[in-house]
Amino acid sequence: MRTYEVRTYGCQMNVHDSERLTGLLEDAGYAAAAAGEQADVVVFNTCAVRENADNKLYGNLSHLAPVKAANPGMQIAVGGCLAQKDRSRITERAPYVDVVFGTHNIGSLPALLERARVNEEAQVEILESLDVFPSTLPTKRESAYAAWVSISVGCNNTCTFCIVPALRGTEKDRRPGDVLAEIRALVAEGVSEVTLLGQNVNAYGVEFGDRQAFSKLLRACGTIEGLKRVRFTSPHPAEFTDDVIEAMAETPTVMPSLHMPLQSGSDTVLKNMRRSYRSSKFLGIIERVRAAMPEAAITTDIIVGFPGETEPDFEATLDVVRAARFANAFTFQYSKRPGTPAATLPDQVPAAVVKDRYQRLVEVVDAVAWAENAALVGHEVELMVAEGEGRKDAETHRLSGRAPDNRLVHFAAPDEPVRPGDMVTAEITYAAPHHLVADRVVSARRTRSGDAWEARTRGPVPAGVGLGMPVLGVPAPLPDAPGCR
């Protein structure tokens, strides 16, 4: 039996695509390579958003070249956004790559690997439009208790800094019945939390002409028995409507967390970015969200150093950060992407200026987030136990969990064993900018999701051991993917 390894870069959509790639490979008879062992097939699922994405890929490929030379029969495949962009250039720069496939044809991977093996030559297949909706493909999910559910792919926006629409295509929406059927099937398997995914998730319904389709979908999720938490990422401020706020506030299973990319607080920069909203509209949305859900935690994306950004423009961004009171912000230094209008704009900001502004922004973001977290000290929160070791110090072994608002909480391990997917109520005793600590556990409850995790791992979990969800359930891009929406 041939073994595989999938290496993922980029946003949540790529993470979910990698779950499909692993499902496809296992359906085709491959098995996951054991930790520390060299896989027979290595698949790179790439991102093209950041400037160093190309260097990262080709650097990793070069490290594998001698490994492949020493292992006859080993295959290397490259997919994702960078493959869609670079196409045959990948095999020109790295002729030892066996397969290159695009964002629209991930279902072809097993056939392309077999064709490359039989023909003994590289296979490059890049479709220009979606062949089948990815969610119809086999999927091996990372978590037994939390799952991504894709409701749309592609984007109809034309942000000047973003290359994603050119690589993912225009928006394609799944029918609501198909989305709900997938969620029900997941719940039957033990999943209790889902995150709805889309490049521009709140534009859902544009393809079949229903402007309120997304709010209706949120409400419909609330009727699914056994589903405890619903999240979504990422909405675009231009299409964020009051019916969505009402659906969030009135549907108990929709969590009070919102990740909404700001990108810049300067109206001039937003105009040059071709973002079809201004700072006043963004802050107005946040004001209405907090009026409906005072406990909501709001996070965002911010790009520093966009071409033409002046010091007053940057100060406007700091002003919005202070006014919005973000629980967290994913901050990025602008980098050129060939093929985007912003790459050719005049007045590119000097690197030293960008770095200085970035550091100043991080200081303000952290100070605001710390103050927001400090306000929760003394409050009791219900946590879903996450995978991963948690934190240890000299006196206390802590596990990790996510609060309803998606804040990360490290809590004291209770006397009774808890498993990923189980629920714990704990009192917040300490706040830091990026996490909370709860040293007093009020109660712990075993759940169907914990049962599903235990069944997957085949064995009971010793007291005080928990694992966690480093990515699942976090409504924000991974560090490789700023501003994908």
**Residue 468 included in any domain:** no
**Residue 176 included in any domain:** yes
Q: What are phi and psi of 93, to 5 degrees?
A: -80, -30
Q: End of a domain among 341, 374, 407? A: 374
Within the chain, how many helices (H) and strands (E) appear? 14, 21
Percentage of residues of the chain with pLDDT beyond 70 = 92
Q: Are residues 307 and 369 in the same domain?
A: yes
Using a CB cutoff of 8 Å and minimum separation of 24, what contacts does 173-177 make?
173/204, 173/205, 173/206, 173/207, 173/208, 173/213, 174/133, 174/135, 174/150, 175/208, 176/213, 176/216, 176/217, 176/220
Give Rg (Cα) of the chain. Answer: 22
Other beta carbons within 10 Å of 240:
22
- What is the amino acid identity at position 433? P
13-39: average pLDDT: 93
**Residue 210 included in any domain:** yes
Q: Are residues 430 and 332 in the same domain?
A: no
Q: Is the pLDDT at 484 greater than 60, yes or no?
A: no
Q: Are residues 309 and 395 in the same domain?
A: no
List pLDDT tens digits, range 119-169: 999 999 998 877 677 777 888 888 999 999 999 988 999 999 988 888 888
Q: Are residues 100 and 152 in the same domain?
A: no
Question: Residue 215 is part of which domain span?
Answer: 134-374
Q: Are residues 358 and 291 in the same domain?
A: yes
List pLDDT tens digits, range 77-110: 999 999 998 888 999 999 999 999 998 899 999 9
Q: What per-residue confidence (pLDDT) applies to 395?
A: 65
Q: Are residues 345 and 257 in the same domain?
A: yes
- Grade residue 482 by pLDDT with cuts at 50, 70 and 90: very low
The CATH number covering residue 105 comes to 3.40.50.12160
Q: What per-residue confidence (pLDDT) applies to 415?
A: 87
CB neighbour list of residue 35: distance below 8 Å, 6 or more residues apart: none
Per-residue tokens: 236: 């675009």
- Give the three-class secondary structure for 172: strand
List pLDDT tens digits, range 383-414: 999 987 566 565 678 999 999 999 999 999 99
Q: Are residues 220 and 141 in the same domain?
A: yes
What angle (nearest 5°) sits at the alpha carbon of residue 427, between those of residues 463 and 419? Answer: 25
Q: Are residues 153 and 40 in the same domain?
A: no
Number of structural domains in the chain:
3
What is the DSSP pairing of strand 75-80 with strand 99-101?
parallel
User: DSSP code of 199?
Assistant: T
**Mean pLDDT of the chain, nearest integer:** 90
**C-alpha distances out from residue 322 to 326, 367, 369, Å:** 8, 9, 10
Query: Which stretches does DSSP call E strand in 142-264?
Result: 146-150, 152-153, 172-173, 193-197, 229-233, 257-259
**Residue 142 included in any domain:** yes
Q: Are residues 245 and 144 in the same domain?
A: yes
CA–CA distance, 340 with 307 (Å, rounded to integer): 12
List pLDDT tens digits, range 309-338: 999 999 999 999 999 999 999 999 998 887
Supply the pTM of this predicted model. Answer: 0.87
CB neighbour list of residue 427: distance below 8 Å, 6 or more residues apart: 378, 379, 380, 438, 439, 440, 442
**Residue 81 included in any domain:** yes
**Residue 30 included in any domain:** yes
CA–CA distance, 133 with 131 (Å, rounded to integer): 7
Other beta carbons within 10 Å of 367:
13
Q: Give the residue from 373, 439, 441 showing the smallest Cα distance to 407.
A: 373
